[in-house]
Amino acid sequence: MKAVVINHYGNSDVLEDTEITKPTPEPNQVLVEVFATSINPIDWKVREGYMKEVIPFEFPIILGWDVAGKIVAVGDKVKNYQVGDEVFARPANTNKGTYAEYTLVDEDLLAKKPTTITFEEAASIPLAGLTAWQSLLDVAKLQEGEKVLIQAGAGGVGSLAIQIAKHVGAYVATTASKENEDYVKALGADLFINYKTEDFENIVKDFDVVFDMMGGEILDRGITVLKPGGRIVTIAGQPNQALADQYQVKAYSYWLEPNGKQLQEMADLLDKEIIKPQVNHTFSFSASGIKEAHDLSATHHAKGKIVIKMK
């Protein structure tokens, strides 16, 4: 089968087209024919070697941790899925990712693809959607009527986080560039903050929750807009615990856990159009196409999700 791999760390030029053996599912796995995958910042961070201490993969590495496609083989202990099912998933962390024509997924990480969305749209959801879902609902425990600041609301995670927060019934403020003001408002944002010309800490005060995708000094500033007892969750580094203690808030660093049950809950919301996929960039399945996609993601200025179309 065709796959795109890296054989050593480096810039996007290290992505290579190759042929490898089609994998065989273990008893609790299915083999998915990949119709689409998507790009997330972790993809190029692993490629660059930034994550090698945390995720010590052996080469060659097939990157990619989103998949949408059809099941073509099932392990003998798989109970709830069969050949021909259309599914999507955030597979487990391995060096055999989804930049390939076929990929293995554990049964408990699968969800049925909503019939109302395309494979490309489905592939845009798992990693970014579960990150937003778990950060807001499981960690921050965002409640109806609370106020939440979502940083980088036009990005892949942020665009889904806004919709999830509005579904809960929260008041949503978000930062974005001026050109994305209409976009984030259409997603449900109640308050738009132009990060290029405005300091968010001068605009929002006494918020219940901050969801941070930026890290660094922006993460520190996010702590200061919370009321006592507020919660900040970051997916970009470690919060300053001393500063959190000073402001009497709870601060968390979080990385998602793949979860098929939660993804199925999201699938139901996608089917009802309560959450809408945000695919704004599509590239071809090839080393050159994925290189372009990585380079775009690394600018931090892509709107919504970046998808790789296989079929």
Domains and their CATH numbers in the chain: 2-125+277-309 (3.90.180.10), 128-253 (3.40.50.720)
pLDDT in tens, 114-128: 999 999 999 999 999
Q: How far apart are CA 90 and CA 69, in angstroms?
A: 12
Looking only at Cα atoms, what is the longest distance across the chain?
A: 58
pLDDT in tens, 75-86: 999 999 999 999
pLDDT in tens, 165-205: 999 999 999 999 999 999 999 999 999 999 999 999 999 99
Q: How far apart are CA 152 and CA 300, in angstroms?
A: 9
State yes or no: pLDDT of 311 exceeds 80. Answer: no
Let me know: does 244 contact 225? Beta carbons within 8 Å: no
- What is the overall mean pLDDT for the chain? 97
Spell out the alpha helix ranges (H) of 17-92: 41-48
Q: Find the mean pLDDT for residues 259-277.
A: 98
Give, in order, the Cα–Cα distances in Å from 304 to each of 78, 130, 167, 230, 300.
34, 15, 18, 28, 11
Q: Can you give the pLDDT at residue 45?
A: 96
Check residue 117 and give left, alpha or beta (phi > 0: left; psi -120 to 50: alpha).
Answer: beta
Q: Computed from CA positions of residues 217, 235, 67, 124, in that sequence, does the dihedral angle turn out positive or negative?
A: negative
Q: Can you give the pLDDT at residue 148?
A: 99
Q: Can you give the pLDDT at residue 263?
A: 98
Q: Find the mean pLDDT for residues 44-63.
A: 95
